DNA sequence: TTCTGTCGAACGAAAGTTACAGGATTTCAA
DNA sequence: TTGAAATCCTGTAACTTTCGTTCGACAGAA
């Protein structure tokens, strides 16, 4: 069963290089060289460079959504706040487990291309729906004016991606599996602490309205 | 005085295209075509594509740091919290005023290249110092264990870049100059509200320590 | 054989850059 | 003010390199 051994090597090398140099900044020859396979293997297995990208991103998001939806199903009768907290933990944990791919995809999604728009429709819309629903359920009891909910949602979503944007500043601190665990635990706690404030604070909207 | 008219056109076209398709995803012929100038103009004025990048980024950060340091000097005898609030406002306002360049540079900084490392040493280190100092001055009165300050700082820095990472999700809401103003006002208020919580809350570290 | 994977070599296209000619503009001495 | 030299800018066309992809040959497994 040595089947698809090269395929795996290509994926691994590509993840690493895309993360480091970006999609357009990486050539198939770079990938082949690092994976120690022939150049033509990329086209053979993935139908070209673009196909390799689609394969990796699709696989990432399929698993991501699967994980999210599983945790939402498993916590159906929890309180809204507990559910959201669990969701946050799950998301950060997943992203941390595929650190390079997460950073790379996060970066690529800031582009404006046909591929990004397709991914947005297929996956990001679902992700956004889950987070939004879970967050708004927590906020259900509070009376927040107009678009303040949206700004808070943006703040939350920002916290979920920050470590993977500012990765260059933090890579020194997170080395090895142990550090990963510690980071997830502490960072999730930081977010959940913010969340607690949002829920408990009564007059969040004072400043917001410019009073 | 029609001098350097082409130069300006190139910069404008490049900012727009780099923002949309990324640095490596944009060709000099793309830029020349949109700017309606000749291909060779890019090399003539900027010493090649890489030179164009360096010119744009350097100019952006020179002005950015100048703005930041000016506001820090002008608020020298303010209270720590007022100063930080003013700093946050200034940063968001500047970034919003150069939206496309901000988004592009933010994305490019997630790469791992010689150029990024140089920018980090030359500019990001200074930016980080200013934000860090201003933030830690606010936190001076509080006793926070170990690395919690760092996690909070990360959270703050994340808030300062979030709109320019999640720009694709928000571009529909911010169109025209009026919306820009409104956005700055509301988003800054959201951050400052978070900050207020950080300062006032006594037991931020409970959850953090895993208790 | 037949199928699957691997390899080197080569292809055309597109990349960034440059050489050079010609036009436009500025400079400056007469 | 004038005219010529110097400088700046633009355009064409080509160059070299590198890109992604494909072809055909070959080897091992089914």
Q: Which residues of A touch B120 (CB under 8 A)?
A: 168
Q: For chain A, give every domain's residue range.
A: 1-46, 54-204
Q: Which CATH architecture has domain A1-46?
A: Orthogonal Bundle (1.10)
Q: Is B199 on the interface with A (CB under 8 A)?
A: no
Confidence of residue A142 (pLDDT cuts 50, 70, 90): confident
Indicate if the pLDDT at residue A88 is higher than 80. Answer: yes
pLDDT above 80: residue A204? no
**Which nucleotides of strand C come closer than 7 angstroms to any CB of the protein?**
4-10, 14-20, 25-26
Are A6 and A34 in contact by the 8 Å Cβ rule? The answer is no
* CA distances in angstroms from A158 to A83, B46, B206, listed in the order given: 19, 35, 23
Answer with the residue of higher pLDDT: B111 or A209.
B111
| pLDDT at residue A1, as a whole number | 39
Query: What residues of A are in contact with residue B132 (Cβ under 8 Å)?
Result: none
More confident residue, B183 or A143: B183
Task: Kindly report the nearest CA distance between residue B20 and chain A, in angstroms.
Answer: 5
Instruction: Name the 3-class secondary structure at B210.
Output: coil
- What's the mean pLDDT in A144-153? 89
Contacts of A92 (CB under 8 A, 6+ apart): A160, A163, A184, A187, A188, A191
Residues of chain B with pLDDT under 70: 1-3, 202-211
Q: Which of A41-55, A127-141, B128-142, B161-175 has the lowest mean pLDDT?
A: B161-175
* Residue A44 pLDDT class (50, 70, 90 cuts): very high
Whole-number Å distance between alpha carbons of A134 and B203:
26
Q: Distance from residue A120 (CA) to nucleotide D20 (C1'), in Å? A: 26
CB atoms within 10 A of CB A90: 19
Give the CATH architecture of domain A54-204: Orthogonal Bundle (1.10)
B56-208: CATH number: 1.10.357
User: Which nucleotides of chain D are near protein (any atom < 7 Å from a CB)?
Assistant: 8-14, 18-24
- Chain segment A8-18, per-residue pLDDT in tens: 999 999 999 99
Residue of A nearest to B170 (CA): A154
Set of chain A residues whose Cβ sits within 8 Å of the Cβ of B165: 106, 110, 158, 161, 165
Q: Examine the pLDDT at A210 and tell me if it is beyond 50.
A: no
In this complex, is the C-beta atom of A36 within 8 Å of any C-beta atom belonging to chain B? no
Read off the pLDDT of residues A56-85 as tens digits, 9 standing for 90 and up: 999 999 999 999 999 999 999 999 999 999
Q: Is B152 on the interface with A (CB under 8 A)?
A: yes
Average pLDDT in chain A: 92
Nearest CA in chain B to A194: B194
């Amino acid at each position: 069963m040595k089947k698809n051994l090269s395929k795996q090597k290509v994926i691994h090398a590509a993840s690493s290089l895309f993360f480091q140099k970006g999609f357009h900044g990486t050539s198939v020859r770079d990938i082949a060289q690092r994976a120690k396979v022939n150049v033509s293997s990329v086209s053979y297995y993935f139908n070209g460079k673009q196909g390799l990208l689609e394969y990796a991103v699709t696989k990432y998001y399929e698993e991501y959504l699967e994980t999210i939806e599983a945790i939402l199903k498993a916590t159906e009768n929890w309180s809204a706040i507990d559910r959201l907290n669990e969701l946050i933990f799950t998301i950060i944990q997943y992203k941390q487990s595929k650190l390079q791919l997460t950073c790379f995809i996060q970066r690529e999604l800031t582009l404006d291309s046909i591929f990004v728009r397709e991914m947005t429709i297929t996956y990001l819309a679902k992700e956004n729906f889950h987070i939004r629903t879970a967050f708004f359920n927590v906020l259900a009891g509070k009376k927040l004016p107009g678009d303040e909910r949206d700004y808070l949602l943006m703040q939350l979503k920002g916290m979920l991606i920050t470590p993977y944007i500012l990765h260059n500043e933090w890579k020194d601190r997170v080395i090895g599996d142990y550090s990963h665990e510690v980071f997830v635990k502490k960072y999730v706690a930081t977010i959940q602490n913010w969340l607690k404030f949002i829920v408990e604070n009564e007059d969040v909207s004072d400043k917001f309205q410019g009073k």
